[in-house]
């Protein structure tokens, strides 16, 4: 179990010397973030738009499913007493009153030694109390049928309300929509659902050194990849990115871009929050109307990480390094967005994996190491993607997990277990199939 107090002590005693401001533990920072973000309101959307969204209401069945007793198979509706001695050698022969296609209701009442040809899903005619499957019958001359099998009452009849009883809550508030939920609501005559709204997230890159991917790369400049990676993460989380572009290192430009972003539900900037950085972003985050909660988190990568609110909107100042900003997103922004959109399960799956190599930490922060996970004989094995520099974006493309090395754990020997946060929702998908 996590020991918040112990971590805090380790963090403060071992990390404080390298920081001018207070560096808080990951768990504490996440608790602050989650306590500050609101759950958004709801909206009515069509069933397809509801995929991946969270249901904001309990849905009760408006009627029984199936609405009437109906046939589970294609065959003949019969009275069981008429066929109680039927066998393949000694079939019972019944009169066929009619062929009832699917979708139609019989106007007849079944009398002794009568049968009605019936399709799967068709209502059971009055008087009938079982269905004989077509493969246990044979049509005979003179509009009759040979029945080869005896069955008990209700055999191959789906009873009204068997699947769902009228008034029963069939989907609970909080359910995440998948195709099965779409089908289930459609089957109850519902074309829309009330779900939680999607978060709009304004994304801002900062710095005179940045150029956009489609601009010439002059010496000293680097390409703004953070906005794109963050926007893709926001999309993957199910929220709506608004890319504000690049704010230059001037008070006026930063103020203009931040204010353009504050109509969104959340603001994310990247860059400009390190100890040594020019103070323009920090000035913005400290201006009137802003209330910052923390500036540094005891983690690697991602130590410089500001969070608070500006004009009441949750605002993240993520580090400028590409890997740091993506990892910070995973640890803090993703759970926050999922909470805002009504999700209960807001954390990535974590599995326990065997480390294939030795890991050594050089500080007492909590490390999130990029690893490649694979499965062998039902066990998970993890190896690092190589150098863990926070500028090495290619390592994020190689990784499908983040190994979590706690504050107090300075060495992980090869063969030891580590918890790994799964980054890849398709992990375990295969190009081979045994069955």
Token code pair at residue 100: 């009832």
Residue with smaller CB distance to a second copy, 92 or 181: 181
Q: Which of 81, 126, 135, 416 binds a second copy (CB under 8 A)?
A: 135
Q: Which of 142, 152, 180, 288 binds a second copy (CB under 8 A)?
A: 180
Q: Which of the residues 327 through 386 are near a second copy (CB under 8 A)?
A: 335, 344-352, 366, 378
Residue with smaller CB distance to a second copy, 397 or 411: 397
Torsion over CA of 388, 394, 400 and 406, rounded to 10 degrees?
20
Q: By the 8 A CB rule, do 417 and 352 touch?
A: yes
Residue with smaller CB distance to a second copy, 83 or 310: 83
Q: Which CA distances in Å does 245 have to 210, 214, 261, 263, 325?
A: 10, 13, 10, 15, 16
Task: Please give the Cα distance from 390 to 371 (Å, whole number).
Answer: 14
Is there binding between residue 81 and a second copy (CB under 8 A)? Answer: no
Q: Please report how close the Cβ of residue 314 comes to a second copy at its closest, in angstroms.
A: 19
Q: Which of 45, 140, 182, 290 binds a second copy (CB under 8 A)?
A: 182
Q: Which of 6, 13, 18, 415 binds a second copy (CB under 8 A)?
A: 18
Q: Which CA distances in Å does 210 have to 231, 259, 269, 396?
A: 17, 20, 13, 21
Q: Which residues contact 357 (CB under 8 A, 6 or more apart)?
A: 383, 384, 414
Q: Which of 134, 260, 381, 408 binds a second copy (CB under 8 A)?
A: 134
Q: Which of 5, 35, 48, 288 binds a second copy (CB under 8 A)?
A: 48
Q: Please report how close the Cβ of residue 288 comes to a second copy at its closest, in angstroms.
A: 26
Residue with smaller CB distance to a second copy, 356 or 419: 419
First to last CA, the chain: 39
Q: By rule CB under 8 A, what count of residues binds a second copy? A: 127
Q: Which of the residues 231 through 290 are near a second copy (CB under 8 A)?
A: 231-233, 235-236, 249, 274-278
Q: Which of 41, 142, 152, 189 binds a second copy (CB under 8 A)?
A: 189
Q: Which of the residues 280 through 309 are near a second copy (CB under 8 A)?
A: none
3-class SS at 73? coil
Q: Kindly write down the DSSP assignment for every residue of 77-118, as one continuous string.
A: EE-GGGGTT--SSS-EEEEEEEEE-TT-----B--TTEEEEE
- 29: left (phi > 0), else alpha (psi -120 to 50), else beta? alpha
Residue with smaller CB distance to a second copy, 152 or 378: 378
Q: Which residues contact 166 (CB under 8 A, 6 or more apart)?
A: 61, 62, 63, 64
Residue with smaller CB distance to a second copy, 49 or 311: 49
Residue 183 backbone dihedrals phi, psi, to 5 degrees? -60, -40
Q: Kindly write down the DSSP assignment for every residue of 312-324, as one continuous string.
A: TEEEEEE-SSHHH
Q: Which of 266, 326, 355, 403 binds a second copy (CB under 8 A)?
A: 326
Residue with smaller CB distance to a second copy, 264 or 310: 264
Q: Which of the residues 82 through 121 are near a second copy (CB under 8 A)?
A: 101-105, 119-121
Contacting range for a second copy; rule: CB under 8 A; set: 254-262, 285-293, 353-361, 417-425: 417-425
């Amino acid at each position: 179990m996590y020991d918040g107090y112990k971590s805090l002590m380790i963090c403060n005693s071992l990390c404080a010397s390298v920081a001018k401001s207070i560096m808080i533990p990951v768990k504490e920072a996440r608790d602050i973030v989650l306590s500050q973000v609101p759950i958004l309101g709801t909206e009515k959307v069509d069933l397809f738009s509801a995929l991946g969204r969270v249901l904001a209401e309990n849905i009760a069945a408006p009627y029984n499913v199936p609405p009437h007793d109906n046939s589970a198979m294609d065959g003949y509706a019969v009275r069981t007493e008429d066929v109680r001695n039927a066998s393949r050698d000694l079939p019972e022969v019944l009169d066929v009153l009619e062929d009832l296609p699917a979708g139609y209701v019989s106007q007849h009442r079944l009398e002794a030694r009568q049968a009605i040809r019936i399709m799967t899903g068709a209502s059971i005619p009055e008087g009938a109390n079982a269905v004989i499957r077509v493969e246990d019958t044979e049509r005979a001359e003179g509009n009759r049928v040979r029945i080869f099998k005896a069955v008990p009452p209700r055999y191959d009849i789906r009873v009204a309300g068997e699947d769902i009883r009228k008034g029963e809550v069939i989907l609970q508030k909080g359910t995440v929509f998948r195709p099965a939920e779409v089908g289930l609501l459609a089957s109850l005559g519902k074309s829309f659902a009330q779900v939680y709204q999607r978060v709009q997230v304004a994304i801002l890159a900062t710095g005179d050194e940045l150029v956009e991917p489609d601009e010439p790369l002059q010496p000293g400049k680097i390409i703004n990849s953070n906005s794109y990676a963050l926007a893709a993460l926001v999309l993957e989380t199910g929220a709506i990115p608004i890319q504000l572009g690049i704010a230059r290192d001037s008070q006026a430009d930063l103020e203009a871009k931040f204010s353009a972003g504050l109509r969104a539900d959340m603001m994310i900037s990247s860059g400009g929050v390190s100890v040594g950085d020019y103070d323009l972003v920090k000035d913005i985050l400290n201006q009137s109307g802003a209330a910052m909660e923390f500036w540094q988190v005891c983690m690697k990568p991602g130590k410089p990480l500001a969070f608070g609110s500006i004009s009441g909107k949750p605002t993240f100042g993520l580090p400028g390094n590409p890997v740091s900003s993506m990892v910070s997103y995973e640890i803090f922004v993703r759970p926050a967005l999922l909470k805002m959109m009504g999700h209960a399960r807001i954390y990535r799956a974590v599995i326990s994996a065997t480390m294939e190599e030795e890991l050594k930490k050089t500080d007492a922060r909590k490390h999130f190491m990029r690893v490649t996970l694979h499965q062998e004989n039902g066990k998970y094995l993890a190896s690092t993607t190589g150098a863990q520099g926070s500028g090495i974006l290619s390592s994020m493309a190689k990784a499908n997990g983040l190994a979590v090395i706690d504050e107090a754990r300075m060495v992980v020997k090869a063969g030891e277990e580590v918890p790994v946060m799964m980054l890849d929702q398709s992990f375990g998908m295969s190009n081979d199939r045994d069955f």
